[in-house]
Structure 1
């Protein structure tokens, strides 16, 4: 009996010979894809993940992280002193879920609606829709690349546009002088972009976003207003 008690639980599966079903075997549990969203910012401590996933219990978060390690989506490592803390980070396979989250976010725009009083909000949750919008700036040409600092009424974050490796975004100000700085001074503008009612290109072109910086990316964004 004691041996059975210590056996790991059987992995749940749809038991269907279908790639979509196999994918959902791995990422279909509640919270898994949102943990991926947070880890796209780079290595995160457990406490940081818990703080930016309001509503998840400590037991569920720990369980999902173990599952993600088992399935090769994330790894855990110990930071050297003086950090001396364990962090979780995505593997290459985990990072491949970025376009999945992008597509899912675009599909969900129509269901977003107005922000409810009970909705949690984090500035960096705007990172993925913003990156989608920056991909449209080139108008079919080479995608814009560079470090972009984004200021919203609810906080500041930064994104690495066009980067193939490394973190996709980060919370707080850019770690160095950004190639462009975007200030969404009106919360309604960023909310409209989140809901898919307008695009980054359109709000920059209309002057509803303040663009600063001396980098090529900032210059290209400012050129939208004269196009």
Structure 2
């Protein structure tokens, strides 16, 4: 938005991806679908060009809807916790390898107890001492949504990966090329609950083997 103070607006995919949302937004209401695609492509290229300065991690958990709807929340939370925990430990392991202490930030000004509880629980395990290499990692902090440029990029990044998975499962044409963003470390659980991770420019095919 040239000519507009960058601190006065935020990048949130939900505000500009669909025409109805754009019509309701005071800054995006004059933007067309082609403008949106051009903008998103530019952000993808920015993330790809900063490959050595910007590490991208994506924790994925895919599950089938349970036959009993009353179990949906329990299943969803279990998968969410597993996906988050695996990615968190991978980020900590990779950061402390280089002597760094990662700062885990949630794009939310409302504290989520589950995330903090998982983190504290990890710190009580023998494995955590090995992964952290004795380096102190502070508990996750919570900030106002879109309050930092990296959080805005993360919002777009999360949407693009989720959209890619959706299109793969629904056998739809995907609108973008994930490789534009460069390497991404995907963490996930393989069949049988075995933790896996892979760094690639494309969505790992093994993620969707049973979908």
TM norm structure 1: 0.27
| Relative contact order, higher structure (CA 8 A, sep 6+) | 2
Q: Whose helix fraction is larger, Structure 1's or Structure 2's?
A: 2
Q: Whose strand fraction is larger, Structure 1's or Structure 2's?
A: 1
